Amino acid sequence: MMGKTDGGENNEGGPASEDHLDGQQAVFSALLEDSAEDLYEHAPCGYLSTLVDGRIAKINTTLLDWLGYGRDELVGRRTFSELLTVGGRLDHENHVAPLLRMQGGINGIALELKAADGSRLPVLVTSTVRTGSDGQPLLIRSTVLDARDRRAYETELLRAREESDRERERLKRLNETLQKTLLPPALANVPGLDVAAYYHIASSDEVGGDFYDLFPLAAGTWGFFLGDVCGKGAGAAALTSLARYTLRAAAVYDPDPAAVLTNLNTVLNHEYNGHDPRFCTVIFGLLAPEADEADEAGFRVTLASGGHPPALFMRADGRADYLPTPGGQLIGILPDAHITTTTIRLGPGDTLLLHTDGLTEAHSAQAGSRYGDEALLEFAGDLAPTTARDAVAAIRDLLDTFGAGVDDDTAVLALNVPRSTREEQK
Amino acid sequence: MTHELTVRSRTGPAGPVIALAGELDHHTAPQVRALLPGLALRPGQQLVVDLARLTLCDSSGITVLIAARNLALAADATVVLTAVPDRVSRIIRTVGLEQVFHTHPTAQAAEAAWTPPSDSAPLLPPGR
């Protein structure tokens, strides 16, 4: 039973399969016409044979159609080089022809052909040199591929790249502009006080969050501040803007430095709380002209700190100290942030320097180490006594020596009471 | 410069423990902030943030610690920092948060110091 069944299947299956194959071959033959000539003439690429002197000996219909020429206009009359654009001809003479001579072939060289109607056709040409039995070149056979799509693709790539370059440049300019709007165009002129400031941008890709200002308040007093907003980018810029305007407004409302920072804290705490908290650290100061017992001009400076690195006090006698404001808490996070204040007299020759931690957190020359508070204090000690302009210039030079080691923005603001002419004469 | 941060979390006897290793900065902070809401934190529990292997913490990193504290407060839980590196501890002091964050030398010490809320002690004021 089993044997019979198997045999029956074989007998039935064999003739059916052969019929099927015969049928397929017939269909293929009809489709292909089996003509090498037809394949040559109507191939999906151009074929071209040229003599050693460049004259066209044979060309297929596909390429003739692309170029819009009749066969008798080209064969025996024109050289391949004459079909090229001026640029293509130079390329051909300088690169293609020598390669053909040296290597006996070229592979996928991009050239531009000029059609009968003057239009240009980007192509990729592959050629081989056919040699005779004596080894002498007889003719050059070339295939010519239509590269219009490829050229369009390359053009598109190039365009996209240019677009991306432009966008990057635009973003950079936008960031720089935004950064500038976050800083005062000019600091107020305070009679009897020299002021200098500097803002170091660590990266033009993202807006940093350092800020400072100096502005007049009522009755011959001035307010100033310098701070640092956490984070970078648009979110930080928005917070910086809010902090600046709130500080200016709060100082008009109640110029007591602790009150100013408390008000700022309340505003920021309402705005930013919960899952994505944001804060800033800031020193706010109030300047009031004050002559001392010896009738020496100067200012009483009241400083309040909300979690900010302490200000540097570089005295006329050459000493330098941090002005500690311990326990002052960052602004914007805690509903009842603790603010600490300190008061100093800024006399002739004294300089007060406020900075953000981009300076002390900079990577210094030794790998893995940060510049640090101690190094800055030492630097200030060497600098004192100094002036606002000299102090800021020195910090600027210091930042330059760190180079790429400064990975956060840095702001510095220096206030100095110039030595009186009377003192200089001493 | 690479900004690598690895976050490991586990559940200890006192509550969730998250260990941060690497750099906690502007680039890596969102990664931790995104993870925080997923922590199961019950009233009376203690969230431990282990900083033993933290190599960098900038101002954005501080916001993450604050977000962790906000999360704990919202859940009637507490938060402690453990093995705080010197540099991070200096930043915390500068911004005046040393009174806000309790710290322990190790995550184990933090868990040992935790007092479980007893079931008999009512969360509501006595006398009710």
What are the sequence ranges of the domains in chain A?
Answer: 37-152, 174-425
The C-alpha atoms of residue A242 and residue A182 are separated, in whole angstroms, by: 10
Which positions in chain A touch B89 (Cβ < 8 Å)?
Answer: none
Classify residue A92 by its DSSP letter: I
Cα–Cα dist B56/B2, whole Å: 12
Name the packing angle between helices A372-383 and A388-402 (round to 10°). Answer: 140
What residues of chain A lie within 8 A of the CB of B37, using their CB? 275
Query: Confidence band (pLDDT; 50, 70, 90) for B119?
Result: low
CB contact under 8 A, A279 and B66: yes
How many angstroms separate the CA atoms of A252 and A18, rounded? Answer: 102
Measured between alpha carbons, how far is residue A27 from residues A20, A21, A39 in Å? 11, 10, 17
**Least-confidence region, from A27-36, A39-48, B56-65, B93-102:** A27-36
The answer regarding whether domain A37-152 maps to CATH 2.60.40.1660 reads no
Chain B contact for A391 (CB, 8 A cutoff): no
**Least CA distance to A324: which residue of chain B?**
B94
Mean per-residue pLDDT, A193-199: 94
Judged against a pLDDT cut of 70, whether residue B3 lies above it is answered with no
A407 interfaces chain B, CB cutoff of 8 Å: yes
The mean pLDDT value for B35-47 works out to: 91
A309 touches chain B (CB under 8 A): yes
Whole-angstrom distance, CA of residue A269 vs CA of residue A279: 8
Mean pLDDT of A254-272: 93
Residue A366 DSSP symbol: S
A298 touches chain B (CB under 8 A): no
Contact assignment for B60 to A274 by CB distance below 8 Å: no
Average pLDDT over residues A259-282: 88
CA–CA dist A312, A375 (Å, integer): 12
Q: Do B100 and A334 touch (CB under 8 A)?
A: yes
pLDDT at A33 > cutoff 70: no
pLDDT for position A291: 85
- Chain A CB contacts of B71 below 8 Å: 275
| pLDDT at residue number A242 | 92
CA distance A401 to A81: 59
- Does A14 have pLDDT greater than 50? no
Of A307, A334, A407, the CB nearest to B94: A307
Task: Give the per-residue pLDDT at A17.
Answer: 58
More confident residue, A319 or A409: A319
Q: Which chain A residues are Cβ-neighbours of B58 within 8 angstroms?
A: 230, 361, 408
Q: Is the pLDDT of residue A165 over 50?
A: yes
At A204, the pLDDT band (50, 70, 90 cuts) reads confident
* Lowest mean pLDDT across A167-171, A204-208, A243-247, B85-89: A204-208
> Residue A330 in contact with residue A307, Cβ under 8 Å?
yes
Give the residue from A333, A370, A407 with the most B CB atoms within 10 Å of its CB, the best one to mutate.
Answer: A333
Q: Name the residue facing A330 among B58, B70, B97 (closest C-beta).
A: B97
Of B63, B97, B100, the CB nearest to A230: B63
- Complex ipTM value: 0.81
Q: What is the pLDDT of residues A380-416, one digit of tens each?
A: 999 999 999 999 999 999 999 888 888 888 999 999 9
Q: Residues A218-237: what's their mean pLDDT?
A: 89
How confident is the prediction for chain A on average, in pLDDT? 87
pLDDT digits (tens, 9 = 90+) for A92-136: 888 888 888 888 899 988 889 999 999 999 999 999 999 888 888
Chain-centre distance of CA A412, in angstroms? Answer: 25
Q: Does A408 touch chain B (CB under 8 A)?
A: yes
Q: Are A249 and A231 a contacting pair, CB within 8 Å? A: no
Q: Average the pLDDT over A317-322 and give the result.
A: 95
**Domain A174-425 belongs to what architecture?**
4-Layer Sandwich (3.60)
Residue appearing with tokens 């074929």: A47
A276 with B63: Cβ contact below 8 A: yes
pLDDT over 60 (residue A8): no
Distance from chain centroid for Cα A421:
50
Among residues A337, A274, A307, A336, the alpha carbon closest in space to that of B72 is found at A274
* Minimal C-alpha gap between A56 and chain B (Å): 60
Question: Tens digit of pLDDT for each residue in A18-30?
Answer: 667 677 777 766 6
Q: How many CB pairs under 8 A join A and B?
A: 67
Nearest-Cα residue of chain A relative to residue B65: A277
Q: Taking CA atoms, what residue in B is nearest to A358?
A: B58
Per-residue pLDDT at B117 exceeds 70: yes
Give the best residue of A211, A239, A330, A341 to mutate against chain B (max B CB count within 10 A): A330
Question: Mean pLDDT over residues A30-39, rounded?
Answer: 75
Q: Which domains does chain B have, with CATH numbers?
A: 5-108 (3.30.750.24)
**pTM for this predicted structure:** 0.71
Compute the C-alpha angle B74/B80/B83, nearest 5°. Answer: 155
**Percent of chain B's residues with pLDDT above 90:** 53
Asked if residue B12 has pLDDT above 90, the reply is no
What share of chain A in percent tops pLDDT 90?
53
Pairing relationship of beta strands B5-12 and A120-131 according to DSSP bridges: unpaired
List, in sequence order, every beta strand (DSSP E) within A92-202: 105-114, 120-131, 137-146, 194-200
Residue A418 distance to chain B (closest CA, Å): 31
Mean pLDDT of A258-266: 96
